[in-house]
Amino acid sequence: MEFFEMRMEVRHDCPFSNISAKFPEVTIRVWCNTRTHIIELWGGSDEELEAMLREPKLVGEDHIAFPSDRSLRIVSRGCDCGSYPGVSEIIDEHECWYLEPSLIKGGWEQYRVFSYGKENLNLIVNEIQAEGGEVKVLSLKQLVYGLPDPFLPSSSILAGLTDRQISTLAEAFCHGYFEEPSQVSADNLANRMGVSRSTFSEHLRKAERKLLANLYPVIRMAVCDCQSGLCSSK
């Protein structure tokens, strides 16, 4: 079975593309699991980032923002991808998948799409154009040795996690809980989330275990590659 990768840029009528065109100096990275958006804004001025944070179609009403130097990370509790003809839905309809995060700059969305067969990739391009979008195919190649890096779509990585567990992971990561040394205590995070320390720790422990379980096949692939001498020595 032949395996292909296509790199493409898309400009079409959707909230992310339209907002990106208004702020061309800001790079937008988006992770989506159909329930939650994680959005990272990088570059541009502080005023531009603040203005983008006020865009309701970008962040939604229920969101948490974590600012840092020249960047802004947003967890938006809600996903409206199904309310407009999105590229990710078109990719999924044709039994293909793409590597997250999707990157958007200057109104153009950038995708790395993978497919068993070239025909489905052509169908994706044709459907986006039929919906009024513009498509630039940057490259289309057959992958002789399989995927360049092991990866899973976010829906697989987060399979089995509850909304509360996902929120707990996001809070812990964005506040530096996993840094060395840790930038925040479990007690502080529990207070921020309005739960007891034991409840917070339970949510976090279960989330970590499910993440590792979902990623275990990829981890095993990497271990096998290293044992076979196929992984990088760097």
Cα separation, 170 vs 172, in Å, equals 6
Alpha helices in 138-196 (DSSP H): 154-157, 163-174, 186-193
Q: Domain 154-227 adopts which CATH fold? A: Arc Repressor Mutant, subunit A (1.10.10)
For 90-144, what is each residue's pLDDT tens digit? 998 998 988 888 899 999 999 999 898 899 999 999 999 999 999 999 999 987 6
Average pLDDT rounded to a whole number, residues 198-217: 87
Work out the percent of the chain whose per-residue pLDDT is above 70: 80
pLDDT of amino acid 232: 47
The neighbour count for residue 15, using CB atoms within 10 Å, is 17
Cα separation, 130 vs 233, in Å, equals 46
Average pLDDT rounded to a whole number, residues 36-57: 85
Query: Is a pLDDT exceeding 60 seen at residue 215?
Result: yes
Write the DSSP symbol of residue 83: G
Cβ-contact 166, 158 below 8 angstroms = yes
Sign of the Cα pseudo-torsion (205, 211, 217, 220, in order): negative
Q: In the chain, which residues fall in CATH 1.10.10?
A: 154-227
Sign of the Cα pseudo-torsion (165, 166, 168, 169, in order): positive
Reading the block at residue 92, the tokens are 């999924």
Cβ-contact 171, 188 below 8 angstroms = no
Query: Is a pLDDT exceeding 80 seen at residue 185?
Result: yes
Look up tokens 């840094």; give the residue. 179
Residue 72, classed as helix, strand or coil, is: strand
What are the CA-CA distances from residue 36 to residues 125, 152, 183, 212 (Å)?
A: 26, 17, 25, 20
pTM for the full predicted model: 0.62
Cβ-contact 92, 84 below 8 angstroms = no
Cα separation, 222 vs 226, in Å, equals 6
For 4-30, what is each residue's pLDDT tens digit? 999 999 999 988 899 999 999 999 988
Query: Is a pLDDT exceeding 60 seen at residue 2?
Result: yes
pLDDT of amino acid 147: 56
For 53-64, what is each residue's pLDDT tens digit? 888 877 767 778
pLDDT of amino acid 213: 79
Look up tokens 């990157």; give the residue. 103
Cα separation, 167 vs 36, in Å, equals 9
For 74-93, what is each residue's pLDDT tens digit? 887 666 665 556 898 899 89
pLDDT of amino acid 130: 95
